[in-house]
Structure 1
Amino acid sequence: MSKPVIAITTGEPAGIGPEISLRGAHCCRDIVFPVLIGDYAWLKQLAGKMDSGIKLQKLDSARLHEAIEKKETASIGVIDSPLQAPVIAGQLDPRNGQSVLAFMDIAIAGAMNRQFDAVVTAPVQKSTLNDAGIAFTGHTEYFAEKTETKRVVMMLAGSVRKLAGDGHVMLRVALATTHLPLKNVHKAISIDCLLETVSIINRDLKNRFGIVSPRILVTGLNPHAGENGYLGDEEIRIITPAIRQMQETGIRVSGPFPADTLFQPRYLEHADCVLAMYHDQGLPVLKYATFGHGVNITLGLPLIRTSVDHGTALDIASRGLGMANHGSMVEAIHIAAEMAAVSSQNRRQNGK
């Protein structure tokens, strides 16, 4: 395919999102056609202070189509979605909450009508959106709601150096549950939940990552995977029966494994994804190994969405430009482009 068109929502304007979006788009413009979604005046002001080589152009729908057709790369396109209040770096303002939400809405609509091949999101501040009167749990949940997707799966991925031999392996960790209090996790795990979750992981690893026969490892919920029921019986009642049902359908899934010993090269180098039962069971390991270069990916959506592996970093933003690391944004754009290429190839093969 030609360069994929990647929409990049610039996130919380008082955080590092606008800066890393500008730097990431500028770095990746040789492999993608980046389109920033945010306040054009604010982004132009930042770009002027950051790097005179970063050129921006304001786009509407007609101008975007024309720029794509001409393969313009001298400047980065921006779909202008104005903020409601002036920005002070590091200081949140609920008046801009609705504008931040509008960035996402524009990206989702554009991806659904295939104007964009993928969406990459910079971090938002959940508290600011809620302070603005918007019930907001997170990007993952919001994209699911707006696309009317019944179940989505959060997966983080990053390249990890092999402990033995040369090169790197891609570590992928998906979650059976996402932003839940720990006391509620066991209530949210059921056989049906796990069947749907693994089905989504298996399908998207095939259709968007090009992995022909994915290998998925599943953790237990309890310490030592329940230790035969001594430390909890969810593995016996729920997780093991679900795994057996999935194996009967031909999915290459195994477990449950104790989470404290699963994250070792002898397991991970022969797996395409680990499914952890809850947020802080799997993600600390991945973030320790990949932080600053990891990518958050939402599986199960009718569009491609990736994101950085960190938050708004208001403290870094308050110290001025040039302090933020845009490595995760670059990786998110790269993975979005790779997923878009695989998806495009699949559509061509299926005649769609």
Structure 2
Amino acid sequence: MKGVGVPLAVSVGDPSGIGPEIAIAAWQGRKRNAVPPFYLLADPALILSRARIVGADIPLLETEPSQAAGLFQSALPVVALSSRFIDTPGSPDSSNAKGVVEAIDRAVEDCFAGKAAAIVTCPIAKKPLYDAGFRFPGHTEYLAHLAEHHTGKTVMPVMMLAGPDLRTVPVTIHIPLSQVPKALTTDLIVATARITDADLRSRFGLGKPRLAISGLNPHAGEAGSMGSEDREVIAPAIATLRAEGIDAFGPLPADTMFHPRARAGYDAALCMYHDQALIPAKALAFDEAVNVTLGLPFIRTSPDHGTAFDIAGKGIARPDSLIAALKLARQLADTIVANEPA
């Protein structure tokens, strides 16, 4: 992650979804939306095919990362993968899995090599990857694996939804609601909050982040009458964090955490389960919210939506969230550079 002029690497995601066309649309709106320079890791033939399907007449240039920023205003820079894609909009194909993974691998390699300032990932679908033998639960876990491979250090990725008016972090993520009370531990809350605090300082440029910690139960348990987790699991985590100098407070009733006056009192909200964090984030900024992975040794952002197979190839996919992800990735990368010792 070197230098303000280094471009962003965009992995194409599942080529049967809307990844290719939102990347095309983001490039088309580069001047109007002040999109920072990026290059797309993809099969160039697939990108040209999808451009024709959605009626986008774009110049495309195969290039290397080092040349991408200089070409960006005149053509969409594509760094060609060795894998080739089948262009079947709306119909995922496991034969594309190799290229999907290669794009992620190459983006991570480019970040570690200083060729890319950050990674922005277009959405992937799990089933075609699983059918091809992919053994990781999802995108984020695979990125953490790659980070550990490159650094030799254990990595704990943390998911953040970042919008213009709210940042939320789910402590537990893709598990059934019935499993949340067992999965939720004091240690997990503390570890998640530490990573959130550290990245808000180093990447978002906040001197002393304020972390609002939600309760699990209605009314944050109401003194134990509606559940014991708030008092026995969450409150001790907050006490530990405060003893470490982290400005964490709560547990707060989740139903009163997200109105404007409440949001003004914190920089990020740590929530106890997936929907508790994602519902307010998406309600406030469905098209602008960005998925940011904290805790990685490189910057990774992603649009806050899926592959949208149902609209792929129809020319109606909006690039708003991808554009927001590109802008946030650039902002975070530039903040790190600005804070590096002279």
Q: Identify the residue that residue 242 of structure 1 maps to in structure 2.
A: 237
How does 1:181-260 map onto structure 2 within 5 Å? 181-260=176-255
Once residues 72 and 219 of structure 2 are traced to their aligned partners in structure 1, the CA distance between those partners, rounded to angstroms, is 55
Structure 1, 220-229 or 116-125: larger mean CA deviation: 220-229
Q: Given that residues 126 and 136 in structure 1 are in contact (C-alpha distance below 8 angstroms), is that contact kept between their aligned partners in structure 2?
A: no
RMSD of aligned residue pairs (Cα, Å): 1.8
Q: Given that residues 219 and 254 in structure 2 are in contact (C-alpha distance below 8 angstroms), is that contact kept between their aligned partners in structure 1?
A: yes
TM-superposition CA deviations, 1:140-162 (whole Å, max 9, x none): 22211211243111000112xxx
- 1:73 partner amino acid: Q
Paired residue secondary structure (1:7) = strand
Q: 1:254 to 1:19 in 2, by over 3 A?
A: same
Deviation at 1:264, TM superposition (A): 1.4
Once residues 4 and 268 of structure 1 are traced to their aligned partners in structure 2, the CA distance between those partners, rounded to angstroms, is 34
Deviation at 1:39, TM superposition (A): 1.1
Q: 1:43 to 1:152 in 2, by over 3 A?
A: same
Q: Identify the residue that residue 326 of structure 1 maps to in structure 2.
A: 319
Residue identity over aligned pairs, in percent, reads 39
Q: Given that residues 3 and 32 in structure 1 are in contact (C-alpha distance below 8 angstroms), is that contact kept between their aligned partners in structure 2?
A: no
Once residues 89 and 35 of structure 2 are traced to their aligned partners in structure 1, the CA distance between those partners, rounded to angstroms, is 30
Deviation at 1:187, TM superposition (A): 2.3
Paired residue secondary structure (2:77) = strand
Deviation at 1:305, TM superposition (A): 0.4
Q: Given that residues 56 and 77 in structure 1 are in contact (C-alpha distance below 8 angstroms), is that contact kept between their aligned partners in structure 2?
A: yes
Q: 1:203 to 1:281 in 2, by over 3 A?
A: same
Structure 1, 138-147 or 250-259: larger mean CA deviation: 138-147
Structure 1, 300-309 or 39-48: larger mean CA deviation: 39-48
Q: Identify the residue that residue 155 of structure 2 maps to in structure 1.
A: 150
Deviation at 1:86, TM superposition (A): 2.2
Once residues 30 and 191 of structure 2 are traced to their aligned partners in structure 1, the CA distance between those partners, rounded to angstroms, is 35
Once residues 110 and 226 of structure 2 are traced to their aligned partners in structure 1, the CA distance between those partners, rounded to angstroms, is 48
Query: What's the TM-score once normalised by structure 1's chain length?
Result: 0.89
Q: Identify the residue that residue 163 of structure 1 maps to in structure 2.
A: none
Q: 1:232 to 1:254 in 2, by over 3 A?
A: same
- 1:236 partner amino acid: R
- Residue 14 (structure 2) pairs with residue 7 (structure 1): no
Q: Given that residues 154 and 297 in structure 1 are in contact (C-alpha distance below 8 angstroms), is that contact kept between their aligned partners in structure 2?
A: yes
- Residue 114 (structure 2) pairs with residue 114 (structure 1): yes
Deviation at 1:37, TM superposition (A): 0.7
Pairs aligned (count):
332
TM-superposition CA deviations, 1:126-146 (whole Å, max 9, x none): 111112221232222221121
Q: 1:104 to 1:281 in 2, by over 3 A?
A: same
Paired residue secondary structure (2:225) = coil
- Residue 312 (structure 2) pairs with residue 310 (structure 1): no
Q: 1:12 to 1:66 in 2, by over 3 A?
A: closer
Once residues 200 and 55 of structure 1 are traced to their aligned partners in structure 2, the CA distance between those partners, rounded to angstroms, is 41
Q: Identify the residue that residue 342 of structure 1 maps to in structure 2.
A: 335
Structure 1, 21-30 or 323-332: larger mean CA deviation: 21-30
Structure 2: stretches of 5+ with no match in the other structure: 149-153
Paired residue secondary structure (1:306) = strand
Moved over 4 A (4+): 82-85
Paired residue secondary structure (1:28) = coil
Paired residue secondary structure (2:297) = coil
Once residues 225 and 67 of structure 1 are traced to their aligned partners in structure 2, the CA distance between those partners, rounded to angstroms, is 50
Q: Identify the residue that residue 16 of structure 1 maps to in structure 2.
A: 18
Paired residue secondary structure (1:312) = coil
Q: Identify the residue that residue 66 of structure 2 maps to in structure 1.
A: 65
Deviation at 1:181, TM superposition (A): 2.2
Q: Identify the residue that residue 296 of structure 1 maps to in structure 2.
A: 291
Paired residue secondary structure (2:302) = strand
Query: What's the TM-score once normalised by structure 2's chain length?
Result: 0.91
Q: 1:67 to 1:262 in 2, by over 3 A?
A: closer
Structure 1: stretches of 5+ with no match in the other structure: 160-169
Q: Identify the residue that residue 165 of structure 1 maps to in structure 2.
A: none
Q: Identify the residue that residue 39 of structure 1 maps to in structure 2.
A: 43
